[in-house]
Amino acid sequence: MSNRILVINPNSSASCTRGMAAAMAPFNAPHLAPFEVVSLPGGPPAIATWRHWYSVAEPLAQMVEREAAACYVIGCVSDPGLEAVRMATSKPVLGMLRCAVAAALTRGERFGMIGFMETSRPRQRRVLQAMGLEARLAGFIPLNLPMETLTDPHAPRARIMEAARQLAAEGAESIVLGCTGLASHAAAAEDAAGIPVIEPCQAAGLAALLAVAGNRPALQEVA
């Protein structure tokens, strides 16, 4: 379906893919491009290291070449393979981290990040450097929990809330959740911190709708 927004989870976690789909479900509406959330066949259990990050670039590009869509979203908050995938299509390709950071900066000058693992820090720092925004990062707190724990509705909640409060105390004016597995915890983190919390699936979903609306041929297909 060429008028869809295809969201590709580069890891193999079914619970993570379901969580992304649930986070983006409110954006499925009549006369808007429909969202389809899928996982990358053969992807690693999580994008936890540079090796994982590099390993999915070519498979993502090949999947985009096979699967027609009006816009593509890479469903990982370190934007793996973004540049490679953009070379595989003329359609918009969005990274969740870039979308979430852009949204965070509409709410304040400095933002904090709740990360997946300590090994996520250098990959996410690379994205911030590419955006010229590393100096706007008020703090980074990794959870260092397995993906299946993060996607549990209860198990990581106290740790996430503690991290959110700590980032607010360190001067963050908004918080970016640094993993798609955290989607169901956004409201609890915001309540704990008392500052805006940016959920990257929804930030990317809104950006994708805007990208499709700005693409007139795609918009005509949807209408």
CA distance 42 to 158: 32
| Matching fold, domains 5-95+202-222 and 98-200 | yes
Q: Does domain 98-200 have CATH number 3.30.750.24?
A: no
3-state SS of 104-170? HCCCCCCEEEEECCCCHHHHHHHHHHHHCCHHHEEEEEECCCCHHHHCCCCCCHHHHHHHHHHHHHC
Q: What is the pLDDT of residues 15-70, one digit of tens each?
A: 999 999 999 999 988 889 999 999 999 999 999 999 999 999 999 999 999 999 99
Asked whether the beta carbons of 7 and 77 are under 8 A apart, the reply is no
The domain made up of 5-95+202-222 has a fold known as Rossmann fold (3.40.50)
Domain locations along the chain? 5-95+202-222, 98-200
pLDDT of residue 24: 93
Q: What is the pLDDT of residues 194-222, one digit of tens each?
A: 999 999 999 999 999 999 987 655 344 44
